[in-house]
Structure 1
């Protein structure tokens, strides 16, 4: 099996990015910037293909990389990820140990404020526990994705209309089309802290966008899931906007896309 890393970046120096990320495998870098271009180079004996596009949106970036991918296993990534030595072998060994798996979710070291998950024990992922995994944890069998016609949403994520959630929607589609997904207690690298490209605080847009996301994730259960979300996270998120108002904003987001 061949592993290929698919990197989404914005305004990066592509000729040094492989070294900064400690890439040890073939990779495709899609860099969104102010011009179009293509560069290719070898890094530690591995092929690094760099595409530069004058466009915005992380979903579009990931889809552009996926369309050009050739690896049996593709690992989605971002410019602020630094990989551990030996990550390739850890990932390929995990797929070899679980041949029934189509997608594996790996651990990554992150700052406390960014931590949404940490897998302690191997387990299967279902729709009800799939909403907390970031895209950089996803390693997936490429042909299985193509056979299922699964791509990333262009509506959600950095640079898109709605703030975030493209990772949750992607996982939902994988599960909907029958892909077998597991979370594994294997660490492959770390995320370097940086300023978020989309998060501007728990403001009106945050809650409206969350309502829109919940419509696409949960359908008729979106309102109930919004209540649950605020009950769990309200103490942190509702210091400036009262919980009642936050729920009204999420409901506004849900209603804005009803029928879609």
Structure 2
């Protein structure tokens, strides 16, 4: 088995960012260009990487394009602010060899100061529809064949640069689980998030709840209402200074209707 890194980035004029990521395996780099002033090669292809520069935006579009160009057995979902540990390939491959029936393995990452990025379980465990919602993109690795054979792609209406600016990883994993793929968390570190500040979270504002509602419906058109209500209640202590419970619920339903209207038009 071989490991390949699927890297999403924007407006890069050189490979300095790639050199800082400490990557030792082949990579597919999707560089979305949003600035007219950039003048760089549209494609670089060699034994080490496939580098594609596209006049486009949208994180899920970037993920899908990277997956389309991947060739290895195991893919690692990457952002350009990750730095991988020495020997990450061995860590990843060992886990897939020890768990041959698992399709997706979620690893842990750390902050630049060495502390864990979030609170992780201390033991291996299979993730379900609910627990998978806590997973961040850069923690995800998967068997390429499992994803392709089940025709799973990222929903391009979600993710940074898209209509709905978050939730693409939750929708992706929920689709995997609905199609019977096994998702496992392993408490081993594969890298460091060099910039731990969120690029999209601007607080618990109206846009945040609107997008949450759309995301929940995209995950499950049948039980979205249950996800909306549990989220509103479970997270109330975090957002109560910014918005009341009733308004949070209303906004999530507004987002749900926006998404339904959008997909009906398409």
Q: If the length of structure 2 is used for normalisation, what is the TM-score? A: 0.89
Give 1:48's aligned residue: 49
**Alignment partner, residue 65 of structure 1:** 66
Q: Residue 117 of structure 1: CA displacement?
A: 4.8
Q: Which residue of 1 aligns with 2:124?
A: 122
SS of residue in 1 equivalent to 2:222: helix
How far did residue 11 of structure 1 move? 1.6
Structure 1's 111 and 141: CA in aligned 2 closer, same or farther, altered over 3 A? same
Q: Identify the residue that residue 135 of structure 1 maps to in structure 2.
A: 137
Equivalent residue, structure 2, for 1:168: 170
1:116 Cα deviation from its structure 2 partner = 5.0
Structure 1 residue 106, shift from structure 2 partner: 0.5
Distance in 1, Cα, partners of 2:160 & 2:231: 21
Q: Counterpart of 1:3?
A: 3
Contact 1:5 1:75 in 2 (8 A): yes
Counterpart position of 1:211? 213
Mapping of residues 1-260 of structure 1, within 5 Å = 1-33=1-33, 34=35, 37-40=42-45, 47-110=48-111, 115-193=117-195, 196-258=198-260
Say whether the 8 Å CA contact 1:39–1:51 is kept in structure 2: yes
Q: In 2, Cα distance between the equivalents of 1:131 and 1:16? A: 33
CA distance in 1 between partners of 2:253 and 2:117 (Å): 27
- Aligned residue for 2:220, secondary structure, equals helix
Query: Following the alignment from structure 1 to structure 2, what is the Cα–Cα distance between the partners of residues 135 and 247?
Result: 26
TM-score (norm 1): 0.91
Q: 1:49 to 1:14 in 2, by over 3 A?
A: farther
User: Separation in 1 of the partners of 2:206 and 2:246?
Assistant: 12
Three-state SS of the structure 2 residue aligned to 1:127 is coil
Shift of 1:235: 1.8
Deviation at 1:128, TM superposition (A): 2.4
Tell me how far apart the structure 2 counterparts of residues 196 and 129 of structure 1 sit (CA, whole Å).
Answer: 21
Q: Matches of 1:47 and 1:117 in 2, distance apart?
A: 34
1:6 aligns to what SS in structure 2? Answer: strand
Following superposition, the deviation at residue 62 of structure 1 comes to: 0.6
CA distance in 1, matches of 2:119, 2:152: 24
1:113-167, CA deviations, whole angstroms, 9 ceiling, x for partnerless residues?
Answer: x945523111111112210101211111111211111111101010000021110
Cα separation, partners in 2 of 1:14 and 1:102, compared to 1, 3 Å: farther
Structure 1 CA distance for aligned equivalents of residues 178 and 238 of structure 2? 32
**Once the two structures are superposed, what CA deviation does each residue of 1:160-185 show, in whole Å capped at 9, x if it has no partner?**
00021110011011111111111111
Contact 1:21–1:80 (Cα < 8 Å) also in 2: yes
Q: Secondary structure at the match of 1:223?
A: helix
Cα RMSD after superposing both structures:
2.2
**Residue 85 of structure 1: CA displacement?**
0.5
Q: State the Cα distance separating 1:40 from its structure 2 match.
A: 4.0
Aligned pair count reads 256
Which ranges in structure 2 are unaligned for 5 or more consecutive residues? none
Q: Flag structure 1 segments of 5+ consecutive residues without an equivalent.
A: none
